[in-house]
Chains A and B, each alone.
Chain A
Amino acid sequence: MTGAQLTQLLQSAVFFGTVIMYGAIGEILTEKSGNLNLGVPGIMYLGGIAGLAASFFYEINTENPSAIVCLLLSFIAAFLASALGGLIYSFLTITLRANQNVTGLTLTIFGGGIANFFGGSLNTMAGGVGQISVATTSAAYRANIPALAGMGTVGTLLFSYGFMVYLAIILAVALHFFLTRTRKGLNLRAVGENPATADAAGINVTRNKYLATCVGAGISGLGGLYYTMDYIKGTWANDGTIEALGWLAVALVIFATWKTVNAIWGSYLFGLLFWMYLYIPGLTRSSQELFKMLPYLVTIAVLIFISLRKKRENQPPASLGLAYFREER
């Protein structure tokens, strides 16, 4: 492998990793409240399509679309649509105490269906070759600082990305700080570990669960937004890639042992493992699919490893997946 190829591989790993990092850190926040939301792929779909639709309608109806408005509109639309997905999940599982796994899987199917339906419609509405393109917005998402990005290999590796790559890292660090160093974070973790104890200590369990799940879903949805705007450059494809990435994000939560800072390097590692097949000579179409399994195999290995070590800090929140009902004793 040449140096240029290596740089290229690392760069694609970062692109790839950023999508699932959003998905994973949002889901970690959700799971810390004791909610196992398997709707991450659906929520990423919702974020992707909402962001795309918002900027599409703005760009199509405006003479000279402003990059900053494009950016804000799509970002807010994506976050809100995904948080709404989280709200549906919260209402069903927290208020109505529906089964979390079933609700999450349903949300995945719902999000995928709705996004692909509207994605197809947008492609038709765009006319022409039948492919939607939001050039201004996508350019805004991919903008970097040329002076920094131009600094040879270092520039390419560190500074050639759009702002969302850096935002993901900042969010991961900020969430880690929130969960481990603040009072609110401590309370939230207590809710996920032992809601009855949290309740007795005067913490509002329901509010914590709702907030964590909705904000977590909003963050997860940004992964979908990054995918449509940056990864596939402001277009839409009905090929199910977002769903595949969504499941990888769920796997990454386990790989990161529910710590958002671990999700940073974990996501890039997943990206590296995913794209490696391109740089291994002599692979056929079928044998490269074997390589694409690597992230999942690594996750299984990690699961086995942490289960064997039995270190309590690496285990999922103790009441993950369980509904809380005060009167039940």
Chain B
Amino acid sequence: MEQTIAIQLKNITKRFGKVVANDSISLEIRRGEILSLLGENGSGKTTLMNMLAGIYFPDEGEILVNGSPVTIASPKDAFACGIGMIHQHFKLVDVFTAAENIVLGLEDEGKLDLKAASAKIVDICQKYGFSIDPSKKVYDMSVSEKQTVEIVKVLYRGADILILDEPTAVLTPQETDRLFDVMRNMKADGKALVIITHKLHEVMDVSDRVAVLRKGQYIGDVATKDTSPQKLTDMMVGHAVTLNIDRPEPKDPTPRLTVENLTVYDAMGVKRLDDVSFTAMGGEILGIAGIAGSGQKELLEAIAGLQPLRPGASIHYRPKETLEGDAGIELVGKTPLQIKQAGVSLAFVPEDRLGMGLVGSLGMTGNMLLRSYRNGFGVFTDRKAPKKLAEDVMGRLEVVTPSVNFPVRRLSGGNVQKVLVGREIAQQPSVLMTAYAVRGLDINTSYTIYNLLTEQKMQGVAVIYVGEDLDVLLELCDRILVLCGGQVSGIVDARTTTKEEVGLLMTRFKKEAAEG
């Protein structure tokens, strides 16, 4: 089939504050072709496509649709150009039917004719091979049905350039296969398709061409038939960068936390962790690597006692000074308070700092109090100790704040993180869990955090570090556990492994694992 160019991006740059999300990217999207946009988290894939969908506006550069320059300032402009994007988070009204959702916001003349709309929807479905019931309410639908509604919604509006943002993240393998069939049908119909993904086997399976982004840079594009998962991984993760993070050898590591057969389902009934087992040692930093959403959040929350576990799971804790054969404490089935009362000092620096970690409208003192409000005399809390701790943290970690009573929400991201880490370390933990501890922080603050974690490790704490930057994981941690789709795809020694090995483990999928 003759492939004509649908969209040309020329030197597109997008910045958020100081962060460059897309750095002078040029890319072609062709009709009758499925293009995979591949990259790690934060590589700028979604940002780039959001500029085509009218969510963001590029700071620099030019967009050409069918050869002529266009300005896409809103989702409406995008529709006018024939561009439709299916976002990861569905934009549907629950109490409306499929048909009502699909016609929503269209400015056709005349009265609302749902019958005619339904007929058109059924037509579109037949043409490409989906099936939906136009009169079914969205709240009765499965995730894959909702996704179908989203796709039909953009087709109904006449889009011939479709962008799908990680469409398979929420689908079962069978549903994924069906979606790919539909995508191939649309390709045969001459539509241009872009699929944003970080799953290599899907790239190999469905796409004709792959464009790779890494840290906001455009690395290049290759025809799928000329490449291999190995080559794509190399493009995706790039070569290792030396960071010079100080990493002392661990002093006689001892098993602190033994996790066995951990399986977690989320509220939607989707399996988030699949039979995870590992041991975290006191005196070492265990890194957790994985594509976002591979179960990192659930893993930490499960250990902290915040996730309902499937039967058969065991989280076994051994205190610092135990002799061999000591029974230790079982954490499964205990609430966070019971875990604390059992004498286990778990410190948790969650991903959502101001949601789960701190109360934004309180000052440093108030936030310190969150860990100690049970102490004090009778109904009165002890306010002096937290104030002293707040002042201590402020001085030791150089938190920049007008006073210890200044609302932490109004501090910069780095200072917020220092308050949180400072509080957690002050618990004198025996296990310290951090999720994306340096996300959004500048280089200096990041190093402060690395040093704090290393300090804890040398004091015999079992540190669990969930990270996204492989370079940091490789230089900071002693061992790295790699999660892929909720499973442990490998535990490697951080001193001897390579970036490529970890990258491959992150994207290794079941089939390949079974074959290899």
Interface residues of B in 83-129 (CB under 8 A from A): 91-96, 100, 103-108, 111-112
Q: A187-B105, A202-B76, A312-B139 are in contact. Are A194 and B111 (CB under 8 A)?
A: no
Report if A7 contacts B (CB, 8 A): no
Instruction: Report B128-143 CB contacts with A as 1/0, cut-off 8 Å.
Output: 0000000001010000
Interface residues of B, count at CB 8 A: 21
The interface-forming segment of A123-131, A178-186, A263-271 is A178-186
Instruction: Write out the residue numbers on chain A whose beta carbons fall within 8 Å of the beta carbon of B105.
Output: 187, 190, 198, 201-203
Instruction: Write out the residue numbers on chain B whose beta carbons fall within 8 Å of the beta carbon of A183.
Output: 103, 106-108, 111-112
Q: How far is the CA of A197 from the CA of B96 in the complex (A)?
A: 12
Interface residues of A in 187-215 (CB under 8 A from B): 187, 189-190, 193-194, 196-198, 200-203
Q: How far is the CA of A197 from the CA of B89 in the complex (A)?
A: 10
Instruction: Write out the residue numbers on chain B whose beta carbons fall within 8 Å of the beta carbon of A315.
Output: 95
Report the minimum CB–CB distance from A33 to chain B (whole Å): 13
How many chain A residues sit at the interface, stated as a range, is: 20 to 34
Q: How far is the CA of A315 from the CA of B94 in the complex (A)?
A: 12
Instruction: Write out the residue numbers on chain B whose beta carbons fall within 8 Å of the beta carbon of A181.
Output: 111-112
A194 B94 Cβ-Cβ under 8 A: yes
A190 B91 Cβ-Cβ under 8 A: no
B112 A313 Cβ-Cβ under 8 A: no
Report if A303 contacts B (CB, 8 A): no
Report if A318 contacts B (CB, 8 A): yes
Report if B465 contacts A (CB, 8 A): no
Instruction: Report A205-237 CB contacts with B as 1/0, cut-off 8 Å.
Output: 000000000000000000000000000000000
- B104 (CB) vs chain A CBs: closest residue: A201
B91 A201 Cβ-Cβ under 8 A: yes
Instruction: Write out the residue numbers on chain A whose beta carbons fall within 8 Å of the beta carbon of B106.
Output: 183
Report the minimum CB–CB distance from A28 to chain B (whole Å): 15
Q: How far is the CA of A318 from the CA of B138 in the complex (A)?
A: 14
Q: A183-B108, A186-B112, A312-B139 are in contact. Are A197 and B75 (CB under 8 A)?
A: no
Report if B79 contacts A (CB, 8 A): yes
A190 B96 Cβ-Cβ under 8 A: yes
Q: How far is the CA of A194 from the CA of B111 in the complex (A)?
A: 23
Q: How far is the CA of A193 from the CA of B105 in the complex (A)?
A: 14
Q: How far is the CA of A203 from the CA of B105 in the complex (A)?
A: 5
Most chain B Cβ neighbours within 10 Å, of A196, A197, A198, A312: A197
Q: How far is the CA of A202 from the CA of B139 in the complex (A)?
A: 22
Q: How far is the CA of A196 from the CA of B90 in the complex (A)?
A: 10
Q: A186-B112, A312-B137 are in contact. Are A202 and B75 (CB under 8 A)?
A: yes
Q: How far is the CA of A186 from the CA of B96 in the complex (A)?
A: 9
Instruction: Write out the residue numbers on chain B whose beta carbons fall within 8 Å of the beta carbon of A189.
Output: 93, 96
- A203 (CB) vs chain B CBs: closest residue: B105
B93 A312 Cβ-Cβ under 8 A: no
B94 A193 Cβ-Cβ under 8 A: yes
Instruction: Write out the residue numbers on chain B whose beta carbons fall within 8 Å of the beta carbon of A190.
Output: 93, 96, 104-105
Q: How far is the CA of A312 from the CA of B95 in the complex (A)?
A: 7
Instruction: Report A133-164 CB contacts with B as 1/0, cut-off 8 Å.
Output: 00000000000000000000000000000000
Q: Of B79, B93, B107, B112, which one neighbours A197 at CB under 8 angstroms?
A: B93
B91 A182 Cβ-Cβ under 8 A: no
- A191 (CB) vs chain B CBs: closest residue: B93
Instruction: Write out the residue numbers on chain B whose beta carbons fall within 8 Å of the beta carbon of A202.
Output: 74-76, 79, 105, 107
Instruction: Write out the residue numbers on chain A whose beta carbons fall within 8 Å of the beta carbon of B92.
Output: 194, 197
Q: How far is the CA of A197 from the CA of B95 in the complex (A)?
A: 13
A197 B104 Cβ-Cβ under 8 A: yes
Q: How far is the CA of A183 from the CA of B95 in the complex (A)?
A: 16
Report the minimum CB–CB distance from B412 to chain A (whole Å): 19
Instruction: Report A241-263 CB contacts with B as 1/0, cut-off 8 Å.
Output: 00000000000000000000000
Most chain B Cβ neighbours within 10 Å, of A194, A196, A315: A194
Q: Of B74, B76, B91, B100, which one neighbours A186 at CB under 8 angstroms?
A: B100
Q: A190-B93, A312-B95, A312-B137 are in contact. Are A198 and B104 (CB under 8 A)?
A: yes
Instruction: Report A300-329 CB contacts with B as 1/0, cut-off 8 Å.
Output: 000000000000110100100000000000
Q: How far is the CA of A194 from the CA of B112 in the complex (A)?
A: 20
Report the minimum CB–CB distance from B84 to chain A (whole Å): 11
- A201 (CB) vs chain B CBs: closest residue: B105
Instruction: Write out the residue numbers on chain A whose beta carbons fall within 8 Å of the beta carbon of B137.
Output: 312
Q: How far is the CA of A315 from the CA of B103 in the complex (A)?
A: 23
Instruction: Write out the residue numbers on chain A whose beta carbons fall within 8 Å of the beta carbon of B93.
Output: 189-190, 193-194, 197-198
B76 A313 Cβ-Cβ under 8 A: no
Q: How far is the CA of A314 from the CA of B103 in the complex (A)?
A: 23
B95 A318 Cβ-Cβ under 8 A: yes
A194 B100 Cβ-Cβ under 8 A: no
Q: A181-B112, A197-B93 are in contact. Are A186 and B103 (CB under 8 A)?
A: yes
Instruction: Write out the residue numbers on chain B whose beta carbons fall within 8 Å of the beta carbon of A187.
Output: 104-105
Report the minimum CB–CB distance from A36 to chain B (whole Å): 17
B112 A182 Cβ-Cβ under 8 A: yes
Instruction: Write out the residue numbers on chain B whose beta carbons fall within 8 Å of the beta carbon of A196.
Output: 91
Q: How far is the CA of A143 from the CA of B106 in the complex (A)?
A: 45
- A181 (CB) vs chain B CBs: closest residue: B112
- B102 (CB) vs chain A CBs: closest residue: A201
Q: How far is the CA of A187 from the CA of B107 in the complex (A)?
A: 10
Instruction: Write out the residue numbers on chain B whose beta carbons fall within 8 Å of the beta carbon of A201.
Output: 75, 91, 104-105
B94 A318 Cβ-Cβ under 8 A: yes
Report the minimum CB–CB distance from B275 to chain A (whole Å): 34
Q: How far is the CA of A315 from the CA of B139 in the complex (A)?
A: 13
Q: How far is the CA of A234 from the CA of B329 in the complex (A)?
A: 79
Q: A181-B111, A202-B76, A202-B79 are in contact. Are A193 and B95 (CB under 8 A)?
A: yes
In the assembled complex, 6 residue pairs joining A and B whose CB atoms fall closer than 8 Å, in A order, are A182-B112, A183-B112, A190-B104, A200-B75, A201-B104, A318-B95
Using a CB–CB distance below 8 Å, which chain B residues touch chain A?
Answer: 74-76, 79, 91-96, 100, 103-108, 111-112, 137, 139
Q: Beyond the given A312-B95, A318-B94, could you list 17 further A-B residue pairs with CB under 8 A, ordered by the A residue number?
A: A181-B112, A186-B96, A186-B100, A186-B104, A190-B104, A193-B93, A194-B91, A194-B93, A196-B91, A197-B93, A197-B104, A198-B93, A202-B75, A202-B79, A203-B104, A203-B105, A315-B95
Using a CB–CB distance below 8 Å, which chain A residues touch chain B?
Answer: 181-183, 185-187, 189-190, 193-194, 196-198, 200-203, 312-313, 315, 318
- Report the 3 A-B pairs with minimum CB-CB distance, sorted nearest first: A201-B105, A197-B91, A202-B105
